[in-house]
Structure formats: structure tokens, C-alpha cells
Amino acid sequence: MHTTKNTIAVIGGGSWATANVKMLADNSTPKDIYWWMRNGEAVEHLTKFRHNPRYLSSVEINVPAQHISTDLKAMLAQAEFVLLNVPAAFLKDALSGITPQDLEGKKIVSAIKGIVPDENLIIGEFLNQRYGIPFNNLLVLSGPCHAEEVALEKLSYLTIASPDTELAARFAGMIDTRYIKTIVSDDIYGTEYSAVLKNIYAIASGICHGLGYGDNFQAVLISNAIREIERFVEAIHHIDRDIKESAYLGDLMVTAYSQFSRNRTFGNMIGKGYTVTSAQLEMNMVAEGYYAVNCLHQINKQHNVYMPICNAVYNILYQKRSPYNEMKHLAENLS
Ligand SMILES: NC(=O)C1=CN([C@@H]2O[C@H](COP(=O)(O)OP(=O)(O)OC[C@H]3O[C@@H](n4cnc5c(N)ncnc54)[C@H](O)[C@@H]3O)[C@@H](O)[C@H]2O)C=CC1
Ligand SMILES: O=C(CO)COP(=O)(O)O
């Protein structure tokens, strides 16, 4: 049993980081929370007014002012757990001044649902290869959970995956609250990859909505998408998993159907005729699936998994193919 006080550094200043800080602060286990973000003005606002000015600004932040900083090394130095929450596309940049020594011995929790561009690695693999973090010190925080609903304290279920399930259970004990239930898993590969893939299918769902396809078609699209996820994660890491569990199917469904989904919103704009750049400019938030589909396309060259939905999204976003023609062609290949 762990007896000393828990210490955790949350890295990132967006919606999910803000929601994670709220969960950690609302959880009754004694702990010291440290919070790093790159935006100095946001830090100033937070320390003065206890609200993040740009993301989930209604949430009151109960973290001492001196624990919120733009100094990443200083925040990391205080913590046993590090909760990463920067979109994958910016992770390398955010950690650029950090050495393996800065992270030595720390337990790293990734709440990121993306792939590191150029490296084509999920976050766990990247941390292991670049920073030498042993897999037993890696955790993945996932499951169907929108930051906006955490802010409203709506009942939500999160999965914590790690090869060390005792460590995962310890972290679960640091975030569960009246409104957060936790599930422990040992499937870090399946949990990470399915969380990445569901963002791509949410973009497909949004594109179809933008093009005028209805709920009947969406249901077929998503039932094909879960089979695509199952084929891919089986090819990458074959274990006995139930794809209907909430970390896999549940996460796909919330992203594909929710009004809060960044990826679906982005896809909807593409379906309506926005360019990628104009759709990105319309959002103050990051649609991970846009970056992920390019990485997935590269990774799948080694595995050759049949992924018609991913291919259609790749063709639309990276080959400038017409959303109308791509989805019409895709629709002929769904079952
Ligand atoms: N928002 C949500 O409900 C959930 C998000 N996630 C994951 O959490 C991670 C963080 O996403 P969100 O908090 O949703 O982000 P967000 O879309 O709310 O905010 C964007 C974040 O990206 C940062 N950013 C934007 N441009 C940047 C740049 N050029 N360099 C460095 N940072 C930049 C912003 O400072 C901000 O922290 C993602 O991997 C996402 O998939 C996971 C579960 C739920
Ligand atoms: O992963 C998420 C919810 O589980 C957030 O991504 P979206 O905002 O695209 O749904």
C-alpha cells in the first residue's frame, strides 16, 4: 500500500487538461497538483482568477497559484506522476527541453489520443523509445469522456491501462469521484490505438453528416468502423480483448455522435465544403484525427489491414479528393 502523499504534474493547457485538473482536485485522496501550460497569459489569469481563460472557463480551479507555471522542468521536478495532455502534434515541441533524466523514475500517464507525427508512434512507444520510460511506468487514460461533460460533472467512465495493473489501480484511486468511475486494463496498445482510430471515424461521421447522410447510414458507418478498429488492433497487438468494452466501442460512439466532438465538428465542416485550413481556423480546438489519419496511413503500409473508412478520410484530407465522391465510393463497400 502506498503511504506518502501523491504528487502529479498535469502537462497542457487545453480542455482535457483543465478537466483532468478538476477531477484530480475533486478526488478526495490527498495530493499536490502541479500544472504546466505554455501560455503565460493563461497562467497569469488562472493564478489571479482561478479559471482557465480559453478552455472550460466556467470550471473553478482549486490548485495553489504557485503550482501553476510555464516552467516545465520545475513542474516535473515536483511530481511522481506526470499526466500528458498536449495534442500529439505538439508533444515533441512541448518536451523539447526535457531530458530522460528529467523523467527518470516517474510514472507517465498519457491522456493524449493521437500519434506523434514523423515518428509514427503512439505516445507510449514514443516515451519508451525517446525517453527510456519502462513500459511498467506507462499508463494510458482513455474511455468515452468529453471534457465539457466533466466540467458539468456528468457521470463518466474512464479506463486506465498499464502493464502494471496495480499502478493503474493506484492512479484510478487518484481520479475517481462522484461523477468519474474508473476501469483498470492491461491493454495499453489496444487502448491507445483504438482511441486514435476513433477520432478518424468521427471525422468520417462528420463528413457524412455534412454531406447530408442520415442516422441510418451513420449507424452502418460506425458498425463498420468498430470492425475496422478490431482488425487493426488485432494486427498490431493480438490479445484476448472484447472490442465492445467502453474504452473501445464506447469511445468510438461518444466521438462519432456527440455534439461536443472536435473531430466530428471538423469532419462536418469538410463535408460542407470547408478546406482543411478554414475548418481548422474555425475551431479553437484540435481535431487529433486529422494528424492521425496521415500517420495511420504510413503505419498500415506495414500491416496491410483492410481499412476502407480510414482510406477514404485520408484521400479527402491529404489527397484533396472530393468528399462527395469518396463517401459515395465508400458507401458501396460497407456492409
Ligand atoms: N477534449 C476532450 O474532451 C478530450 C481530449 N482528449 C485528448 O486530449 C489531448 C488534448 O486535447 P484537448 O485538451 O481537447 O485540446 P483542445 O483542443 O481543447 O486545446 C488545444 C490545445 O492545444 C494547444 N495547442 C494549440 N496549438 C498549439 C501549438 N502550436 N503548440 C503547442 N500547443 C498547441 C493549446 O494550447 C491547447 O492546450 C488530445 O490528444 C485529445 O485527443 C482526450 C479525451 C477527451
Ligand atoms: O476523445 C474524446 C472523447 O473521448 C475527445 O475527442 P472528440 O472531441 O473528437 O470527441
Query: Out of 24-33, 129-138, 213-222, 280-289, which region has the weakest mean confidence (pLDDT)?
Result: 280-289
* Ligand 2 nearest atom to the CA of residue 142, by list position: 4
Q: What is the mean pLDDT of the chain?
A: 97
Q: Is the CB of 198 under 6 A from ligand 2?
A: no
Determine, yes or no, domain membership for 1.
no
Strand runs (DSSP E) across 53-195, as ranges?
68-69, 81-84, 107-110, 115-116, 121-122, 138-142, 156-161, 180-185
Residue 318 is which amino acid? Y
Any known ligand binding at 313? no
Final residue before a domain boundary, out of 134, 158, 186: 186
Question: How large is the average pLDDT for residues 329-335?
Answer: 96
Q: Could you report the per-residue pLDDT of 213-271, keeping only the tens digit for each?
A: 999 999 999 999 999 999 999 999 999 999 999 999 999 999 999 989 999 999 999 99
We report the CATH number of the domain holding residue 106 as: 3.40.50.720
Any known ligand binding at 288? yes
Determine, yes or no, domain membership for 85.
yes
Question: Smallest Cα–Cα separation from 110: which of 127, 97, 96, 98?
Answer: 127
Q: Are residues 85 and 229 in the same domain?
A: no
Task: Indicate the pTM of the whole model.
Answer: 0.97
Final residue before a domain boundary, out of 186, 207, 240: 186
We report the CATH number of the domain holding residue 219 as: 1.10.1040.10
| pLDDT > 80? residue 55 | yes
Q: Are residues 142 and 283 in the same domain?
A: no
| DSSP-assigned letters across all residues of 279-302 | HHHH-SS--HHHHHHHHHHHHHHH
Asked if 145 and 113 count as a contact pair (C-beta separation under 8 A), the reply is no
| pLDDT > 80? residue 194 | yes
Q: Which domain holds residue 289?
A: 196-331
Predicted local distance difference test score (pLDDT) of residue 259: 87
Q: Are residues 158 and 207 in the same domain?
A: no
Q: Are residues 159 and 248 in the same domain?
A: no
| pLDDT > 70? residue 1 | no
Residue nearest to atom 41 of ligand 1 (CA): 113
Distance 233 CA to ligand 2 centre (A): 19
Any known ligand binding at 217? no
* Ligand 1 nearest atom to the CA of residue 145, by list position: 44
| pLDDT > 90? residue 284 | no
Question: How large is the average pLDDT for residues 292-315?
Answer: 98
Predicted local distance difference test score (pLDDT) of residue 118: 93
Determine, yes or no, domain membership for 191.
no
| Mutation test residue for ligand 2: of 158, 198, 203, 285, the one with most atoms within 8 Å of CB | 198
